[in-house]
Chain A
């Protein structure tokens, strides 16, 4: 098991290498000079050249890449052009916030999604199935920023139950597990959970329907197992795939929730990416994308190892 995990870890290296090249090239593929945005319009050619030399943009690309990689290995992602703060700490805080939000949203989504999926799969074709399917289709197809706005209008503006934006009282950007902070996470988490809920519900429904039609379920009944025992077998069979889907959803939510984080001004990676794009803050953008991509790779690794542990048919070789 451990050996398999290590082996998979080795396979991750080339992927991570590719990711780093793509991230590095982002800066150079974007139109315009990375420095144009922050240089005063009336800067002389000499000043521009000095600036380029200072940031290392005058060296050949492979050398630049080497230097960039070297710095990354030392935890230095450069500094934000807009704020001047180190990218590593900005991204680190944002990832922390996003991770909390995305994990909570995935948990909620997985809980409800799995429940609806099981109900729909068990009572295929019934009214319950149609109802559960409706909820899950709404979950994946309703625009989430719209859902977010509706939530804000209803629960913040009209009812005044929960705060509408931010991660904590007084514009706090460091989330802590207390009730004051918890109130801030409820609305974005529920809004965000609609996506994984819908997808997991559809997946689980299909899985359950497939498993229940397999002969071993009849064989279980034939040896006297009750519905509860059969249910346990169904869960155990559905778990590997359902967990894999859940892991990937968590990955998407970590980086792919720009709209929701923006609507709720949640200081996470999505919000950070949005800000970086609008401010043409390339080092920040580069660093954020790199960290997110590596996170996704790491998550895939975890899902892979977990799935192999749960499903004996997947070769560990």
Chain B
């Protein structure tokens, strides 16, 4: 990969706090991210793990009451220091976003073509006709059938898959360098999911996009990503190349996630393996390692301190005290990982 290129997205010690009642809730607790041009990073985690919050922080899309800490550098811009007008110029131009549910992310009373044209007009000072022309090119590019006619559709007149294609067209309207995708396939059915993933991968190669792809679906992450970062309770607990993380999961949480998938046929009386317990309440996270209370390898030192990021391989690291001392990954998982 482009290991020599400087990163285009670089977040250091990112924290996001939300006002809740009297206090604050820390939804993201010190995340480091680094992404090179044309690279895809999957942020993998369950609901409430802070993956979407992290993603939105990269665009400062949170309400004003939320506090973002740490540093975010995107394409030489210090995102957290951008003035309002510079922030508006940055959003949609340098970095753009695909939302989970395209039926909610388009304005229901405007024609799709106009919504794309609006973005082009906003960022490039183009006329409406030029904007519409660009929208048509993009519709052709994302392979929307009879694109000319579809430009005049309202969002509710399109199918889910077509709307997500239109959303991708909108996101690419101003040739962004970074694409943030917030579970873009979750709201779609399985056959459409794969089409959208393939399209995204194709467009990524063509435009040299860096993509941060948030998902809770390991299969989707493997399909699209070069690297995977597993999030738990607002922290990245493990990150590495797709291959490393799937073949050699080093954090007990990642191992738990991988073993809680169904492989092929599951016997009638066979139960799916699940991680015991439930994710911590972020208003009162457990001391030390947040996964500690659910971890089968828990030792006393886990509750004493937050584990450091321990390198496993050159590009593979995990936040666990027991790396090196923990038993090797389960052979069954390793075999399945090689299929991915």
A72 to B69 CA separation, bound complex (whole angstroms): 76
Any A CB within 8 A of the CB of B241: no
The listed residue (B61, B88, B110, B170) touching A226 by CB distance below 8 A is B88
Closest to A238 in B: B109
A313 and B109 in contact, given A224-B89, A224-B90 (Cβ under 8 angstroms)? yes
Q: Does B109 lie within 8 Å of A310, measured CB to CB?
A: yes
Chain B residues with CB below 8 A from A237, complex form: 107-109
A313 to B104 CA separation, bound complex (whole angstroms): 14
Any B CB within 8 A of the CB of A174: no
Q: Does A236 lie within 8 Å of B93, measured CB to CB?
A: no
Chain B residues with CB below 8 A from A225, complex form: 88, 92, 118, 122
Closest to A225 in B: B122
Q: Does B107 lie within 8 Å of A233, measured CB to CB?
A: yes
Any B CB within 8 A of the CB of A229: yes
Any A CB within 8 A of the CB of B105: yes
Which of A144-152, A212-220, A254-262, A277-285 interfaces with chain B? Answer: A212-220
Closest to A216 in B: B107
Any B CB within 8 A of the CB of A311: yes
Chain A residues with CB below 8 A from B110, complex form: 233, 236
A123 to B104 CA separation, bound complex (whole angstroms): 23
Q: Does A312 lie within 8 Å of B109, measured CB to CB?
A: yes
Any A CB within 8 A of the CB of B49: no
A214 to B107 CA separation, bound complex (whole angstroms): 9
Tell me the count of chain A residues lying within 8 A, CB to CB, of chain B.
Answer: 21
Q: Does B91 lie within 8 Å of A219, measured CB to CB?
A: no
Report B64-84 CB contacts with A as 1/0, cut-off 8 Å. 000000000000000000000
A313 to B154 CA separation, bound complex (whole angstroms): 8
A233 to B97 CA separation, bound complex (whole angstroms): 19
Any B CB within 8 A of the CB of A71: no
Any B CB within 8 A of the CB of A222: yes
Chain B residues with CB below 8 A from A215, complex form: 99, 101, 104-105
A311 to B171 CA separation, bound complex (whole angstroms): 25
Report A198-238 CB contacts with B as 1/0, cut-off 8 Å. 00000000000000001110111111111001000100110
Any A CB within 8 A of the CB of B119: yes
A233 to B108 CA separation, bound complex (whole angstroms): 10
Closest to A311 in B: B109
The listed residue (B88, B107, B108, B109) touching A224 by CB distance below 8 A is B88
A220 and B107 in contact, given A225-B88, A225-B122 (Cβ under 8 angstroms)? yes
Any A CB within 8 A of the CB of B106: yes
Q: Does B61 lie within 8 Å of A221, measured CB to CB?
A: yes
A221 and B109 in contact, given A216-B104, A313-B154, A313-B156 (Cβ under 8 angstroms)? no
Closest to A226 in B: B88
Q: How far is the CB of A160 from chain B (nearest CB, A)?
A: 50
Q: How far is the CB of A233 from chain B (nearest CB, A)?
A: 5
Q: How far is the CB of B74 from chain A (nearest CB, A)?
A: 14
Q: Does A312 lie within 8 Å of B99, measured CB to CB?
A: no
Q: Does B93 lie within 8 Å of A224, measured CB to CB?
A: yes
Q: Does B106 lie within 8 Å of A219, measured CB to CB?
A: yes
Any A CB within 8 A of the CB of B59: yes
Q: How far is the CB of A218 from chain B (nearest CB, A)?
A: 6
Q: Does A216 lie within 8 Å of B105, measured CB to CB?
A: yes
Q: How far is the CB of B18 from chain A (nearest CB, A)?
A: 15
Closest to B87 in A: A224
Any A CB within 8 A of the CB of B243: no
Q: How far is the CB of B126 from chain A (nearest CB, A)?
A: 13
A219 to B105 CA separation, bound complex (whole angstroms): 6
A222 and B59 in contact, given A229-B122, A312-B156, A313-B154 (Cβ under 8 angstroms)? yes
Q: How far is the CB of B4 from chain A (nearest CB, A)?
A: 31
A218 to B96 CA separation, bound complex (whole angstroms): 12
A222 and B61 in contact, given A237-B109, A313-B109, A313-B156 (Cβ under 8 angstroms)? yes
Which of A218, A219, A237 neighbours the largest number of chain B CB atoms within 10 Å of its CB? A219
Q: Does B108 lie within 8 Å of A216, measured CB to CB?
A: yes
Report B92-127 CB contacts with A as 1/0, cut-off 8 Å. 110011010100111111100000001100110000
With A215-B104, A224-B88 already in contact, 4 other A-B pairs whose C-beta atoms are closer than 8 Å: A216-B108, A222-B91, A223-B173, A236-B109
Q: Which residues of A contact B (CB under 8 A)?
A: 214-216, 218-226, 229, 233, 236-237, 240, 310-313
Q: Which residues of B contact A (CB under 8 A)?
A: 59, 61, 88-93, 96-97, 99, 101, 104-110, 118-119, 122-123, 154, 156, 170-171, 173
